[in-house]
Amino acid sequence: MPRSTSSPSPKGSPVTLAMVARRAGVSPQTVSNAINSPELLRPETLERVRGAIDEMGYRPSRAAQTLRTRSSKLIGYGIQPAPGGGTAPVMDRFLHALSQAADEAGYRMLLF
């Protein structure tokens, strides 16, 4: 997870995991553990790392996570046009429920 896609650092470049590690006084692996396996850290270390993450606005890169886990957490769903060009209320409710359930499980929907 080398780069963030959100808040820039004071120099204008994205905040990196290494930058968060330096701010918190820990190793990059400890920052990674705080994000992915917080149960491995002592509570005071976890609190310090999370404080640095919040202070710096660090957000893990979804692309880097995808490479590391070999899972995109993306669900594609193809939609056929409704007859007559209108919308189908049942399909709308289904897609809303599917999208909500996917989001709660950490997935994103791609409708096509």
Instruction: Check residue 4 and give its pLDDT.
Output: 42
Residue-wise DSSP of 16-67: EHHHHHHHHTS-HHHHHHHHH-GGGS-HHHHHHHHHHHHHHT--B-HHHHHH
Same domain, 13 and 57: yes
Asked if 106 and 71 touch (Cβ cutoff 8 Å), the reply is no
When pLDDT is cut at 50, 70 and 90, the band that residue 10 belongs to is low
| Domain identity same for 53 and 85 | no
Residue 58's domain comprises 3-68
**Does residue 78 share a domain with residue 50?**
no
pTM score: 0.58
**Given pLDDT bands bounded at 50, 70 and 90, which one contains residue 89?**
confident
The number of distinct structural domains making up the chain is 2
Give the pLDDT confidence of 22-59 residue by residue, as tens digits: 999 999 999 999 998 999 999 999 999 999 999 999 99
Residues 6+ apart with CB under 8 A from 45: 26, 30, 34
Whether 58 contacts 8, CB under 8 Å: no
